[in-house]
Structure 1
């Protein structure tokens, strides 16, 4: 699927997400998803020291509170936020609660690169909000894919960062209902796969 059909799919998914956010199932589903993410971070992901999160827009799942708590539980842990570059790549800068943020060209709060006390970094883990997501299978192995807003920022960035830091963990964040089948959308050659996917049902890798 491509072109106008893909644009319509994104619009439909964003409309459904807005409706879901206003419904009674949103809070319990969000709480369970956050619980699953925390279980990963305290278990298999306990060696992670730096996480790049996202500033939530358009009814995305808000992970700021739980990640600010995660930072406090051990010394030397760091959070980062993305800064969109003109070449449609992302840089990540250290972020602490209360830092001054500036709006991007898309209106998303971003780190101020002139704020010299916050350094750029390559995080151990990047959390990516999903507009939709899909899975594919090669043999017994499952692969998970993210449908985003269409700018390609994350795909370009991940392709570069994975060369520099092969241990990088990229985790998609989404709800079960956002899963797409092949008739709706399938990943293209330029799409970067997720290392993991977290939904209210569990942690998938």
Structure 2
């Protein structure tokens, strides 16, 4: 589906976002997303049993909406919490507890975020972060597959993951994408500042 050899990262992102919009409007979209959600539910029923806090994202620009699935997960056992990111001016993310129905505020990028001044929703350190992908790539390093995310270019998640991993080496980062978004080296390759994902979730399954 992707034919963008030699394009700049900015042009690549624009083309991928255009294709994602078309993909989300396609007749096969519900069946494909159902497969991805099935794999996510399977993870939540197994690995999710050990998690207490999952950071999700507020979907924009045709990102897959996983809010209802995660709200159900949070309600299925005591002590489970959800969090949403808040973008700081220094391009790092803080995470604040979020409950369905909370009033959110628009960011400078017009993304709905938690209010950091809401004392009833404290800042928390997530055990697991779900991160939407504009594109993604993989490479074998020391005999093991590694996955990278192409995002919107702000670097928020890369900076945040680097900081959080120092505090919590057991943190799990899961990229959320689709098979067609996979990029080869002719399209894009990760840079030294890019943080790898621990797992990548697509309609084909959970890639480890």
Q: TM-score range by the shorter chain?
A: over 0.9
Select 1:20's aligned residue among 18, 23, 44.
23
Q: Which residue of 1 aligns with 2:177?
A: 174
What's the TM-score, normalizing by structure 2? 0.96
Provide, for residues 46-72 of structure 1, a one-character-per-residue CA deviation record: whole Å limited to 9, x for no partner. Answer: 201110000000000000010000111
What's the TM-score, normalizing by structure 1? 0.97
Select 1:47's aligned residue among 47, 50, 72.
50
Q: Which residue of 2 aligns with 1:123?
A: 126
- Partner-residue secondary structure (3-state), 2:149: strand
Q: Which residue of 2 aligns with 1:203?
A: 206
What pairs up with 1:138-153 in 2 under 5 angstroms? 138-153=141-156
Q: Which residue of 1 aligns with 2:3?
A: none
Alpha-carbon distance between aligned partners in 2 of 1:139 and 1:157, rounded to the nearest angstrom? 25
1:126 deviation in Å? 0.3
Gaps of 5+ in 1: none
Provide, for residues 126-178 of structure 1, a one-character-per-residue CA deviation record: whole Å limited to 9, x for no partner. Answer: 00000000000024310000000000000000000000011100000000000
Alpha-carbon distance between aligned partners in 1 of 2:32 and 2:74, rounded to the nearest angstrom? 23
Alpha-carbon distance between aligned partners in 1 of 2:136 and 2:183, rounded to the nearest angstrom? 6
Deviation beyond 3 Å, 4+ runs, structure 1:
none
Gaps of 5+ in 2: 1-6
Question: Is residue 193 of structure 2 the alignment partner of residue 190 of structure 1?
Answer: yes
Provide, for residues 38-96 of structure 1, a one-character-per-residue CA deviation record: whole Å limited to 9, x for no partner. Answer: 10111133201110000000000000010000111111000000000000000000000
Question: Is residue 138 of structure 2 the alignment partner of residue 154 of structure 1?
Answer: no
Aligned length: 204
